Amino acid sequence: MRALAIMALCATAVAGCTPDPAGEMPGPQDGKALFMENCAICHGEDAKGNGAYARRMEKAPKDLTLLALRHNGTFPRAKTMSIVDGYARSDIDGPGMPEFGALLEGDLVPFDSGDGRQTPTPRKLVALVEYLETVQQTR
């Protein structure tokens, strides 16, 4: 009986991180729209830290197109996700980024933070991080 309950719990957990009924995983195009809605005001439409609010801020927002260059040419998926989801915001000097509660809502999808393990993560956060990965400068 206990084994049956554990199997049911595992099945529920796995079902919670499956793609939507259409079978589509989030992609950079979804992330771009989320970036424009939530991030561009500070980071700029080009993600270079030159948004409309940037001039008003005590500490300018980071140029998000340089994340990979700052990490020896590898996009820091885990670190970026930790900052976007709020887990690592204590590392940010100044008032920091606002919390984006709506990005934490919705279904979960598998996210590989770079270590090969799939972690159930809100779909919108995955889309946003995948978009940021596409805007990286190579030099």
pLDDT tens-digit readout, 5-29:
333 333 344 444 444 444 466 667 8
pLDDT greater than 90 at residue 135:
yes
Reference 83, options 60, 59, 107, 67; nearest CA is: 67
Whole-prediction pTM value?
A: 0.75
- The per-residue pLDDT for 37 is 93
Q: Using CA of residue 90, residue 132, residue 44, residue 38, what is the dihedral sign?
A: negative
- The per-residue pLDDT for 118 is 93
- The per-residue pLDDT for 42 is 94
Q: pLDDT band at residue 74, thresholds of 50, 70 and 90?
A: very high
CATH for 25-134 (1.25.10, 1.10.540, 1.10.760, 1.10.10): 1.10.760
Are 12 and 108 spatial neighbours (Cβ–Cβ below 8 Å)? no
Domain boundaries, the chain: 25-134
How far is the CA of 75 from the CAs of 40, 66, 89, in angstroms?
20, 9, 18
Query: Which has more pLDDT, 88 or 49?
Result: 49
